[in-house]
Amino acid sequence: MVMFALKEKVLVQNNTNTILAAMATIRASQFVSTSAHINCRGTSTTLVPLPQIGFRNQFAVTHHGLRCLNKVDMLKMRGNVNAITSKATRTKGSTVDVASCKESSVIRCTGGMMKLVFVGAEVSPWSKTGGLGDVLGGLPPAMAANGHRVMTVSPRYDQYSDAWDTSVLIDIKVGDRVETVRFFHCYKQGVDRVFVDHPLFLEKVWGKTGSKIYGPRAGEDYKDNQIRFSLLCQAALEAPRVLNLNSSSNHFSGPYGDEDVLFICNDWHTALLPCYLKTMYKSKGIYTNAKVAFCIHNISYQGRFPFSEFSLLNLPDEFRGSFDFVDGNLKPVKGRKINWMKAGILESDQVLTVSPYYAQELVSGMAKGVELDNIIRKTGITGIVNGMDVEEWNPAADKYISIRYNAATVMDAKPLLKEALQAEVGLPVDRNIPVIGFIGRLEEQKGLDILSTAIPKFIQENVQIIVLGTGKKSMEKQLEQLEIKYPEKARGIAKFNVHLAHMIIAGADYMLIPSRFEPCGLIQLHAMRYGTVPIVASTGGLVDTVKEGSTGFQMGDFNVDCDAVDPADVNAVATSIKRALKTHGTPALTQMIKTCMAQDLSWKGPAKKWEEVLLSMRSGGGSKPGLGGIRGGEETAAPLPLPLAKEMVATA
């Protein structure tokens, strides 16, 4: 159970003597507080008569200087309407109309407003290794724009210059020890960005946010990842209760509280949250009507660990059935394991993923469902395609390209941008040569090994190819050989280079995405935004977002086995590229470019679909603990005679 050790701070707002928040149940007539709560408008030290607050239960506390420690917090503020911390009333009904429900510049919603807490191991631009970070960077502001109160909670991996120390401390039990964490905060684009500060995050990753979040190097995990992400889940459950947050716009103020909160958990790193919610809070009358949505961004990473380590999670035995898992793989141990993602799926109230077609793939069988297909068929799943950041990726305002353009000027700008790109990487400069780009992580999922095998089959064409990415060292070395093998035709750059990525997106004619599997994909969205036509494998979100002959070229479904390169996939890449090259310089390609750029690829549409799903969750009582239902480890995936793709069972 989380044990509080809070530096108490009380906000006095304007000339009122109303308590906006109290973060611990305290039996005392008076308590001098020196502020542990956030207040964007400044704070003061105040003598507060605590009996004004109505508590659900009261417990004696032990004071340690300015901190107080209480083992069981049953705080329930009952103040009158004028004293509630959120200054917002909750009524069920239609979607919020922010413009019509302002009063004294504070939102008082007539219905539909939700308190949303997104929890994830990454949040762009502060931390990012892939699409997960982009979703937590882009979706929350879009939800806030729809009138909801929105928070994100993620680790503080680095010294973020725009996030400041709240001075709020809490003690959390992880494994067999108690750790103290503190919260940092900033408010941007209508979203409370909360960062969990602890050496398990900062000391491991500092300065390497883009590459060391889950392990010291690609393909290797930190040994204590279960402790790290248990810490994150528990801290995320406390953040809405202990942080007194005021938006700069005055639309919302005070703690989010523990009523009507909806947590959106993302991937295996946050799968313990619904379990802790049930056993630590709901069983004690806290968060009684809170709900959890669990979003799968990549089912290949499930958090599989030895079954003997279940005790590290500090969960009751009734949850064992939700974690129990047996497969045919040898990682991390042979045989019986615990599976975090399985538990997250079973213990949450709603399961989502990042595209409709990927949702279909997850229930299609063991190969694409990576042995959780039977579990997902039990719970059901909803797919909503991702949006993209249309401000960062905007050809009309991109600071990284020499010529800015829009749909009206694209055909004049792209030949010049192609020449600039060719010169930048040292290829022969010729606007009449089609250029194909590839940007992605260098790993089997992204299909670089398929591409490398396919290059000899199409490189004799009038074409140049530029590949940019970082990842596995063996693939980086393979990438660097491209220039040696094809000095006039190909370049491979194994570096993290934002400037060059933008130049490739703008200057290439085609963007190649040969992924074995792709839950949603982001590169194809960036490419279409810039009028660069994607050539994609027919998987996941690539099917939902790229339409054959209209906005790109489909290569067909690839083999998901990452241990070998399927000759059929190699042929599909080569023939599809040749087919695309035939359109270069034709009216057909011009029309595809214009169709690509005419799309709305922002988060606006996806946010409305998310809103519909989340609003529908507010009714119903939620799932019970141990929804996995089978005790003693009997609920398992069918063992396989041979391992599935080894890279598809990584824990990070």
Segment 272-303, tens digit of pLDDT? 999 999 999 999 999 999 999 999 999 999 99
**Residue owning tokens 């032990």:** 62
Q: Span 19-48, mean pLDDT?
A: 32
CA distance 538 to 543: 5
CA distance 518 to 257: 37
Choose the weakest-confidence range: 219-233, 249-263, 625-639.
625-639
pLDDT of residue 205: 75
Nearest to 491 by CA among 444, 550, 422, 546: 422
pLDDT of residue 33: 29
Residue 460 near residue 489 (C-beta atoms within 8 A): no
State which of 55-69, 199-213, 366-380 shows the largest mean pLDDT: 366-380
Choose the weakest-confidence range: 156-170, 214-228, 279-293, 345-359.
214-228
Choose the weakest-confidence range: 330-334, 335-339, 583-587, 629-633.
629-633
pLDDT of residue 482: 93
Residue 324, beta-bridge partner list? 338
Mention every residue, 6+ apart, whose C-beta is less than 8 A from residue 583. 589, 592
Q: Span 477-494, mean pLDDT?
A: 93
Per DSSP, the three-state class of 168 is strand
Per DSSP, the three-state class of 630 is coil
Query: 624 pLDDT band (50/70/90 cuts)?
Result: low
CA distance 222 to 181: 19
CATH number of 410-601: 3.40.50.2000
User: Phi/psi of residue 531, each to 5°?
Assistant: 75, 25
Please give the model's pTM, rounded to 2 decimal places: 0.79
Report whether pLDDT(469) > 50.
yes
Residue 268 near residue 301 (C-beta atoms within 8 A): yes
Q: Span 464-485, mean pLDDT?
A: 91
Choose the weakest-confidence range: 144-153, 280-289, 327-336, 598-607.
327-336
Residue 33, beta-bridge partner list? 46
The DSSP 8-state label assigned to residue 650 in this structure reads: -
CA distance 586 to 604: 33
Residue 68, beta-bridge partner list? 6, 63
Q: How many CB atoms lie within 10 A of CB 539?
A: 27
Query: 480 pLDDT band (50/70/90 cuts)?
Result: confident
| Average per-residue pLDDT for the chain | 81
CA distance 164 to 167: 9
pLDDT of residue 247: 65
Q: Span 1-5, mean pLDDT?
A: 43
- Predicted confidence (pLDDT) per residue in 331-347, tens digit: 667 789 999 999 999 99
Residue 390, beta-bridge partner list? none
Q: Span 467-489, mean pLDDT?
A: 91
Q: Span 150-162, mean pLDDT?
A: 95
